């Protein structure tokens, strides 16, 4: 399909800073996200979508493409998130590389950084494509501005081509997916779909219906600071306890040492002084009991350190974030098979792998709306080396249209 506005729309979206903040107690966690939703709502109205609403409780912007057929068919939904990850998102200046030769180094602006096949071997797949990259100073934001772009562009195409018959379609754009809390208040009844898909995956063909079980961990450590000249048998260094805590975890179960179905403990931030230290982790495991075992281990380590230092020096707070959506989706194979058929009809090979992460679809599936995840096209997401192929974005929009077509024809 030809999506006239897709590239310009994506460039416009990624230039808007919607970085979320995992340490914020507000929802949305940053005000820019809500401002973007308001602008997006106006755009949805302009292209002709109906029932455009921002739900103040869920912080989702939703809209409807009304059916243009009389027969009753399932209502299908498509969902993406507007926030970007914890990396510089201010003054995003995308580069457009046309007709990439599949091998050359791509300088990222004047930053001194480059994209090349050594650090980004998937570049070889994009011979002849138009690539959108960063300038090396920010992320790109394809996660998940690409998904937002693809959904809006697919809706715009259907509105411009009323000869294409379809049932009712619902779309939704949420905040704070990157913090793990974005879908907490998603309103399944208000959304009103029979099944849905998040457009939030990576490379072409990804079809993800199994995710990690996930939890966040906050470790507070209270030391005892005293001048080092008189510290003997008195000082309790919170930073040393933090090191002891981290070293007590299985060293082969950090992200850099795990792959496939192996879970992990991931230290994402450490702040502190001799007096007080704070550590932030994410904990992941494909098996729910495995996640519980990891949480139990964390508590045991804290207890051991408290005994060693004779007091409540280490406090841990564990927050469950989401569970493996395979527990739900294995009961709804028709939703997965529909996406597979849509891809195959377009000559796209479905790639079914357990995703070493999670999407809003994890929580939404457990709320009663089966919601697997489809590719949006981003590569090297969450950093300066992020890039995306325009042609893959177009294919993602094609998959959305094909799912809508198959749903309208009860061909699932």
Three-state secondary structure call for residue 93: coil
Place of tokens 């509105």: 159
pLDDT of residue 136: 97
Domain end (from 306, 322, 338): 322
pLDDT of residue 411: 66
Q: Is 257 exposed, middle or buried (0-12, 13-18, 19+ CB in 10 A)?
A: exposed
- Say if CB 402 and CB 144 are below 8 A apart: no
Q: Is residue 1 part of a domain?
A: no
Q: What tokens were used for 241?
A: 């306890």
In this structure, are 162 and 247 located in the same domain?
no
In this structure, are 183 and 43 located in the same domain?
yes
Which whole number is the average pLDDT over 17-39? 95
Which whole number is the average pLDDT over 107-116? 96
Q: What percent of the chain has pLDDT over 70?
A: 99
Domain end (from 322, 350, 385): 322
Helix or strand run (H / E) with residue 216: strand 213-222
**Which CATH number characterizes residue 65's domain?**
3.40.630.10
pLDDT of residue 2: 83
Which whole number is the average pLDDT over 209-235? 95
pLDDT of residue 311: 86
Least trusted range by pLDDT, from 76-80, 222-226, 358-362: 358-362
In this structure, are 145 and 246 located in the same domain?
no
Q: Is residue 201 part of a domain?
A: yes
Catalytic residue at 39? no
- Say if CB 150 and CB 393 are below 8 A apart: yes
In this structure, are 193 and 267 located in the same domain?
no
236: nearest Cα among 249, 248, 221, 251: 221
In this structure, are 295 and 385 located in the same domain?
no
pLDDT digits (tens, 9 = 90+) for 143-169: 999 999 999 999 999 999 999 999 999
Domain end (from 322, 339, 362): 322
29: nearest Cα among 174, 145, 176: 176
pLDDT of residue 412: 54
In this structure, are 181 and 312 located in the same domain?
no
> Has residue 85 got a pLDDT over 90?
yes
pLDDT digits (tens, 9 = 90+) for 47-72: 999 999 999 999 999 999 999 999 99
pLDDT of residue 22: 85
In this structure, are 298 and 329 located in the same domain?
no
Higher pLDDT, 126 or 311: 126
In this structure, are 62 and 117 located in the same domain?
yes
In this structure, are 34 and 158 located in the same domain?
yes
Catalytic residue at 83? yes
Q: Do the bridges between strand 264-272 and strand 276-285 make them parallel or antiparallel, or are there none, so unpaired?
A: antiparallel
In this structure, are 153 and 270 located in the same domain?
no
Handedness of CA 22, 23, 24, 27 (dihedral sign): positive
pLDDT digits (tens, 9 = 90+) for 287-342: 999 999 999 999 999 999 999 998 899 999 999 988 999 999 999 999 999 999 99
Task: Single out the catalytic residue among 135, 144, 176, 177.
Answer: 177
Based on the structure, what is the number of domains in the chain? 2
Which whole number is the average pLDDT over 177-200? 94
Domain enclosing residue 315, as ranges: 213-322
Task: Single out the catalytic residue among 83, 144, 156, 178.
Answer: 83
Q: Is residue 367 part of a domain?
A: yes
Q: What tokens were used for 398?
A: 């094609």
In this structure, are 258 and 348 located in the same domain?
no
Q: What tokens were used for 345?
A: 């009809």
Q: Report the chain's mean pLDDT, rounded to a whole number.
A: 95
> Has residue 90 got a pLDDT over 70?
yes
Separation in Å, CA 350 to CA 128, 230, 347, 353, 399: 22, 65, 9, 10, 11
pLDDT digits (tens, 9 = 90+) for 241-276: 999 999 999 999 999 999 999 999 999 999 999 999
Q: Is residue 167 part of a domain?
A: yes
Q: Is residue 131 part of a domain?
A: yes
pTM to 2 decimal places: 0.89
pLDDT digits (tens, 9 = 90+) for 329-372: 999 999 999 999 999 999 999 999 888 887 799 999 999 999 99
**Which CATH number characterizes residue 281's domain?**
3.30.70.360
Which whole number is the average pLDDT over 136-146? 97
pLDDT digits (tens, 9 = 90+) for 162-176: 999 999 999 999 999
In this structure, are 23 and 135 located in the same domain?
yes
pLDDT of residue 399: 98
């Amino acid at each position: 399909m030809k999506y006239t506005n897709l590239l310009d729309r994506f460039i416009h979206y990624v230039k808007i800073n919607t970085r979320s903040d995992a340490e914020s107690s507000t929802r949305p966690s940053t005000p820019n996200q809500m401002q973007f939703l308001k602008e997006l709502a106006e755009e949805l109205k302009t292209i002709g979508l109906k029932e455009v609403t921002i739900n103040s409780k869920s912080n989702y912007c939703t809209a409807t493409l009304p059916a243009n057929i009389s027969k009753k068919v399932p209502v299908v939904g498509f969902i993406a998130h507007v926030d970007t990850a914890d990396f510089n998102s201010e003054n995003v200046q995308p580069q457009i590389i046309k007709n990439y030769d599949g091998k050359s180094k791509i300088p990222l602006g004047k930053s001194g950084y480059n994209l090349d096949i050594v650090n980004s071997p998937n570049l070889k797949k994009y011979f002849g494509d138009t690539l959108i990259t960063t300038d090396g100073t920010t992320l790109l934001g394809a996660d998940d501005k690409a998904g937002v772009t693809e959904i809006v562009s697919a809706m715009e195409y259907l509105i411009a081509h009323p000869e294409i018959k379809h049932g009712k379609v619902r779309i939704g754009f949420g905040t704070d997916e990157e913090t793990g809390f974005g879908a907490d208040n998603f309103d399944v009844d208000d959304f009103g779909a029979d099944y849905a898909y998040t457009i939030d995956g990576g490379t072409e063909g990804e079809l993800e219906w199994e995710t990690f079980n996930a939890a966040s961990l906050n470790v507070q450590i209270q030391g005892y600071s005293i001048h080092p000249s008189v510290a003997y048998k008195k000082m309790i260094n919170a930073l040393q306890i933090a090191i002891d805590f981290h070293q007590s975890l299985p060293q082969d179960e950090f992200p850099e040492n795990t792959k496939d179905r192996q879970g992990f403990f991931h230290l994402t931030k450490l702040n502190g002084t001799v007096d007080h230290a704070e550590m932030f982790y994410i904990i992941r495991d494909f098996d729910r009991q495995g996640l519980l075992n990891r949480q139990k281990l964390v508590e045991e380590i804290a207890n051991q350190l408290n005994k060693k230092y004779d007091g409540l020096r280490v406090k841990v707070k564990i927050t469950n974030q989401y569970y493996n959506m395979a527990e739900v989706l294995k009961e709804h194979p028709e939703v997965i098979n529909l996406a597979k058929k849509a891809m195959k009809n377009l000559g796209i090979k479905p790639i079914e792998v357990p995703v070493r992460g999670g999407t809003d679809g994890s929580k939404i599936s457990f709320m009663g709306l089966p919601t697997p995840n489809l590719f949006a096209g981003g590569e090297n997401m969450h950093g300066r080396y992020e890039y995306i192929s325009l042609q893959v974005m177009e294919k993602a929009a094609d998959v959305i249209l094909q799912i809508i077509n198959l749903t309208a024809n009860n061909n699932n």
